[in-house]
Amino acid sequence: MRGLQGRSGWWTVAVLGLLLAGCASKTGRQAPVEERGPQAVSAATTPAPAVVPPKPLPGAENAGKPGYYTVKPGDTLIRIGLESGQNWRDLVRWNGLENPNLIEVGQVLRVIPPSANVAESGAISRPVGTPTVTPTNGAAASSTKTAPAAAAATPAPAPAPASPAPAAAAAAEDDPGFIWPTSGALLAGFDEAKNKGLDLAGKAGDPVVAAADGRVVYAGAGLRGYGNLIILKHNNTFLTAYAHNQLLLVKEDQAVRKGQKIAEMGNSDSDRVKLHFEIRRQGKPVDPSRYLPSR
């Protein structure tokens, strides 16, 4: 009896061990499976898309060079032409612009003619001729033997007086002889920071005349703050601007004469009837009272 019980107990233990081993194999963790399919290989070997650098704006290689202008927020070709002393239509041509109303901030524009020589200051340089010295009849008749002695006896010429600076001389040469564009009283004088010209009083409809001979490079209301505006170009140095008119009597590219009526005074884009008058030298506003005759 004991032998049967012993054998039965051993058998029971063996069966329980097999059952427990089977359960453990079913409940244990499975080893991770690495996917080797085509999709996995493709994802591992495909490079990230390349970052495309932004396309440089037109003329960026000329940024900072004399004779070039970098477009700022709020700029228009009309304003750039006024600031650079050029006809906005010339800017379109020099820069090959297909749409003059489409310029981008950071774009660099040529603001001088392609054939112009540019000094470091950005002004157009003017060639200076070398004077030719012609010998007198007496010097021509002198013999070669006496020439050295004559040269030794001749005192050194006195130094010539200093000539004016080239920019000042050019400005004096190009000054077209301005007249007052209207007879109204002065409301506000020139202030480089606040008022880039003179404000002159008058009544609506009073005549506004050209301050000098010139050509109309702009006539319209496309420049904010100026209302109905006329810009005249007198030469390569000077522009004049006539703002806040109620009526414009000239068109772009029209030649005008000094004293010719070009507009009627008004209050367009202004709080009162007045003429805002500017003189610009190479695009920079200057005090008109320095160039106008005394009243």
pLDDT for the residue 146: 40
Q: Which residue has the higher pLDDT, 128 or 167?
A: 167
CA distances from 59 to 77, 120, 130, 167, 204 (A): 15, 19, 37, 28, 45
pTM, entire model: 0.65
CATH 2.70.70.10 fits 176-290, yes or no: yes
Burial class (CB in 10 A: 0-12, 13-18, 19+), 136: exposed
Residues ≥6 apart with Cβ < 8 Å to 145: none
Out of 72-81, 169-178, 209-218, 247-256, pick the least confident.
Answer: 169-178
d(CA 192, CA 120): 24
Residue-wise pLDDT for 148-160, tens only, equals: 444 444 555 555 5
Domain map (residue ranges) of the chain: 60-110, 176-290
pLDDT digits (tens, 9 = 90+) for 199-258: 999 999 999 999 999 999 999 999 999 999 999 999 999 999 999 999 999 999 999 999
Q: How confident is the model over 124-136, as a mean pLDDT?
A: 37
The per-residue pLDDT for 172 is 66
**CATH hierarchy code of domain 60-110:** 3.10.350.10
Most confidently modeled of 55-69, 112-126, 140-154, 199-213? Answer: 199-213
